[in-house]
Structure 1
Amino acid sequence: MGNPVPGATVALDASGAGNTLTQQAATTDASGKVTGTLSSTKAETKTVSAILNGTLAVAQTPTVVVLPGAATALGFTVQPSNTMIRDRITPPVRVTAFDAFGNMADSFGDTVTIAIGRDPTLLGAHLSGTTTVPAVSGVATFDDLSIDQLGSGYTLVASGPAVSGATSAPFNVTLLP
């Protein structure tokens, strides 16, 4: 036990999704080692395992934490709901930053601005409340938004620096609940 085994066949594997695991060689080198490279599009904790000579699992299973990439896009993670004229939209609208692979980019802390996208009125509806907020851990929360005109099919648009924006699902502003 503990002696290097050159020429042993080793297959590496990693838990989770979106993995690419490459090995330089399928057999151990003269010092009994084999190396591999793990890359992944899914930000999560991975467990790496090895099978020796097709049957014997190696006891050590290291974990690797894959972090999300830089933010590239915004998305509505809590959509605006139907609301009454001049009432706050509840629950609060949330816009989340995502990396190029769809992982939440929790390091994003830039400001996010929200505005009316589609305005179904002929009068030019006004969005009230705090329309620019900083993202905290990748999430911008808009908790005091309201619209001053009745209409069906409003949308909101979110934008931020160096990321592609997003458009919400349609919602209605009514006189009564």
Structure 2
Amino acid sequence: MKKRVIFTLILVGLFGVAQAQKGDKSIEAGPLISFPIGSDGFPSILKTGGGLEAIGQYNFSNRSALLLKIALTSWGYKERTIGYGPRRLTFLSLQGGYKYQFGTSGFFINGLAGTDIDLGDRFSTISFTLGAGKRFTVKDDRFIDVGVDLAGGDAEGRVNFKVIFSLIQWLKGK
């Protein structure tokens, strides 16, 4: 455990911190690992899944931003009756929300709401996401967001761990 803490501190120290600027816009994307959590005291019937997430961000102040998120996540079932039911559950999530960054530390929290669309059965459910993370600056116009999300709503809840890379960033005044 001590080695993990030291490694994390070294990793955090290797990167600078991104300070959001009013009017900056960005598009970012990256992989996520999703751990389903059971509901009503029952364990999940889904295996650990994975997916991709893309986020559009518009900073309307130095600490606040509007977010648009699209994610594609898929899980296998732990057990299924032979010949019945799908082999995988795949959601296309569309959400909008808000992000708050705590000063120059790079730490942030976000909240999003929207819909999860099951691509197998074509049904949709209401969804929400609460998240937290840290932004690391790689270059002036490049960054990496590392975070964890708790996603819930009408579908089974899940905890997502993700690494999001900046793809395009429009900096105000540059």
Please give the TM-score of this superposition, normalised by the length of structure 1: 0.25
Q: Per residue, is there more strand in 1 or in 2?
A: 2
> Which structure is higher in RCO with an 8 Å CA cutoff and minimum separation 6?
2
Q: Which has the higher helix share?
A: 2
TM-score, with structure 2 as normaliser: 0.25
